[in-house]
Structure 1
């Protein structure tokens, strides 16, 4: 019987268009016979021709040049070879997965489920002050993460490698099924991210202020406020509409 496997994906892009991918990186996390999840040796990256010039704004982040991708395959030609690998695949994962899902559409993935390590980190490590991929790396210092393999930051394979270590630890703290459920819901923020109540845990926010936050533009804020009000018996079950993941936590 083949091992359970989750493929962590990270993308670098040339802009915001639906085919603007200029690099895809991946790192697999597999489950051993004893049930423990580990980061495997299966990782890699491919440059992708976005079919347009890379914007200076994105080039300044990942430092991929137009001439480096000029002879690379286009996204629709290469995506499925990474997103639908040979063998078992139980889920795809990414940090703030909504970004990767904009480009990794169901037609390319085969409609496999996604895990968002950002959303799951909010649930498992709510005591941490920040939840970006790189902040989690240095706040948590995951065991076995080889510093050099995770560099440079903001390149597809190194970032996927770092995310995979967060995913491994999340899977060893909660079940795969639970991570999948959390990933379908908005982010449950541990603290109010902005405004007069900024920095407070939700249990320290008054009911009137929580009711005001139910009208916030950010779906994660609305969901978090609603969850706290539900705990207090003020509301029914929180809604789980997919957010745009704009929170800065």
Structure 2
């Protein structure tokens, strides 16, 4: 009997806002990535998208982002009817993935995903492509120009299928670079930021900071900033070299 293929499902949600249960899902999109017989990961199947009735009006401020109208979702099924078949299909996916997966996980709870592991392509991009000018899904798309990405199929942005389709190309290349286990491990940690994002040291690499400035960032409220500063402090205690992070360093 042939074993089930290794597949990871990329998910993207469009919602009425940031925080359930006050906000709900109004569209879910997906695109699978599978491990081929040649040992390389590639996009798998056509993917898809479904409207979801969020059970409340869509605020104008979010309509202005994804342009989904109340009348378009009025007759759509509710989230509890849509989520499980998309998030936990058969054959079971090795993991789920999303760009900024912390957001999707607010709505795609463990009970709906059957406790699936997640890969955050944003966190992994910070590690693998630290020279990118930004780490949004779309900036990575145009900075990297992934092979095989059909321009029109990845549009419009801020819609569930096109965004998941673009993310799937980033995920494919990440998987072929370092594999599933490493991406899941990185995704469980806060983001490791390549450069300082705010303040007078904005744009600097963390190795360039004075100890006093680094200590301030290590007490920051943002978990990504705090984790990055603490990681740099630990590197200095270990006596590592001073200077630009190498590609090998970024994998550690």
TM-score w.r.t. the length of structure 2 is 0.91
Aligned pair partner of 1:17 in 9, 14, 20: 20
For structure 2, which runs of at least 5 residues remain unmatched after alignment? Answer: 240-252
Aligned pair partner of 2:172 in 168, 171, 180: 168
For 1:60-75, what aligned pairs fall within 5 Å after superposition? Answer: 60-75=64-79
Could you report, residue by residue, the CA deviation over 1:37-61 in whole angstroms, capped at 9, with x for unpaired residues? 0011230000000011111011000
Aligned pair partner of 2:163 in 144, 159, 169: 159
Task: State the Cα distance separating 1:175 from its structure 2 match.
Answer: 1.6
Task: State the Cα distance separating 1:234 from its structure 2 match.
Answer: 7.0
What is the distance in 2 between the residues matched to 1:215 and 1:227?
Answer: 13
Task: State the Cα distance separating 1:83 from its structure 2 match.
Answer: 0.2
Aligned to 2:52: 48
Aligned to 1:180: 184
Aligned to 1:8: 10
Task: State the Cα distance separating 1:2 from its structure 2 match.
Answer: 2.2
What is the distance in 1 between the residues matched to 2:113 and 2:94?
Answer: 12
What is the distance in 1 between the residues matched to 2:49 and 2:124?
Answer: 25
Could you report, residue by residue, the CA deviation over 1:74-131 in whole angstroms, capped at 9, with x for unpaired residues? 0011100100111131000000000000000011000000000000000000111100
Aligned pair partner of 2:91 in 87, 92, 108: 87
Tell me if the contact between 2:28 and 2:49 (Cα under 8 Å) persists in the aligned partners: yes
Tell me if the contact between 1:29 and 1:38 (Cα under 8 Å) persists in the aligned partners: yes
Look up the SS of the partner of 1:149 in the other structure. helix
TM-score w.r.t. the length of structure 1 is 0.92
What is the distance in 2 between the residues matched to 1:175 and 1:234?
Answer: 27
Aligned pair partner of 2:212 in 202, 208, 212: 208
Aligned to 1:134: 138
For structure 1, which runs of at least 5 residues remain unmatched after alignment? Answer: 236-249
Aligned to 1:245: none
Q: Please tell me the root mean square deviation across aligned C-alpha atoms, in Å.
A: 1.2
Aligned to 1:31: 35
Tell me if the contact between 1:3 and 1:88 (Cα under 8 Å) persists in the aligned partners: no
What is the distance in 2 between the residues matched to 1:105 and 1:201?
Answer: 35
Aligned to 1:146: 150
